Copies of this chain bind each other. A is one copy, B any other.
């Protein structure tokens, strides 16, 4: 390995500043691991004058991020701009074309354009690394790409969005409704002013897409994710989950099934006292079923300066050591086209909640519609008999076709004895 690895850093927000700090503070320790020095030679951000509290001496400042990709004194570009198109995409493409390695935290970009960018990196003989894009500091990309490779991975499941897990944990602890807890999370800085990407499940879908590609050797398939956010979750469902011995979590799940690959993002019931169920607050976690090697579980901080900078630095040292390899674990040309599981094949046990008028015949009506669709009931709770109040009927079904349950609920909702659209939440194994 010859000479220092020369780094161009585009984006000096929280994570970028963290990366710069670590490069300054831990030069020796990192050089030992890398077999060579790591030198920050160029940085880019919009505002040249802003005081970021970090020492950038020795690094050229560029206001145009694309200039970083063109510099002859840069071997690797760190892209921390964000966004699936625009400056981030242009920078990554220019850098790869200029035969510079790329390290990025950009899950949206990779979920949409990952296969093409991986091919571009290969064509130019450089590496594309994205440990920081999934679960911050948890070395899950490395684990799937380099660790759990002896056997076929059959499923990955994750709590991939700290904001959602924080909100669900708070709703559980306080019994307060979603909107209130979201507003509080926004005040505390745990949720963004525009929280759609988090609470709608989009951010989880980006990360799930990348996990699935790493696990199954398929082209990242964002459009193949069936997605439900947490905005409709009610404190009642969280409380009933507890009574049935479950906790409600927003999961990303990718599975090989006999009918294809299933990718789901949804609030799900997870059996209590399992590792995924016990993930609290803003932590992230992933479990992976790795064939004969068994099931593995990884937990840690998924966001923030330290965890994300940790992942970027890990990628940088890999690049410095020359530890290249295809971005998604196999050459881009060998990534399989994902065969999506057809919607009709999707099946699970489901939690169902009905708000009903407490009059004779209501249970018979619900049961009849479920039976018509071959949905059978495993267990049931009925609560809340204050006169005039709606009654909650809650049940867990045996495994049933997703489309059949949806049809049954639609028929049930048409009844005048039902107060609101019934709630339907899948049960997940942990």
Interface residues of A (CB under 8 A from B): 18, 22, 26, 29-30, 32-33, 35, 131, 136-139, 142-143, 145-152, 217, 273, 275, 278, 290-301, 304-307, 309-314, 317-318, 321-326, 329-331, 334
Given contacts A29-B330, A293-B137, A326-B33, contact A150 B298 (CB under 8 A): no
| Copies assembled | 2
B296 near A299 (CB under 8 angstroms)? yes
In the assembled complex, which residues on chain B have CB atoms less than 8 Å from the CB atom of A300?
Answer: 293-297
Sampled A-B contacts (15; CB under 8 Å): A26-B150, A32-B217, A33-B149, A33-B325, A137-B290, A137-B294, A137-B296, A139-B143, A139-B148, A146-B317, A150-B306, A150-B310, A273-B278, A291-B306, A321-B323
In Å, the complex CA distance between A310 and B278 comes to 27
A150 near B297 (CB under 8 angstroms)? no
B310 near A293 (CB under 8 angstroms)? yes
Given contacts A29-B217, A298-B298, A305-B292, contact A143 B146 (CB under 8 A): no
Q: How far is the CB of A102 from chain B (nearest CB, A)?
A: 18
In the assembled complex, which residues on chain B have CB atoms less than 8 Å from the CB atom of A151?
Answer: 22, 26, 306, 310
In Å, the complex CA distance between A282 and B123 comes to 46
A306 near B329 (CB under 8 angstroms)? no
B334 near A325 (CB under 8 angstroms)? no
Instruction: For the complex of A and B, list the 4 residue pairs with the smallest distance between their C-beta atoms, beginning with the closest.
Output: A292-B306, A139-B147, A293-B310, A32-B330
Which of B148, B313, B321 lies in contact with A310, CB distance below 8 A? B148
Q: How far is the CB of A64 from chain B (nearest CB, A)?
A: 28
B290 near A146 (CB under 8 angstroms)? no
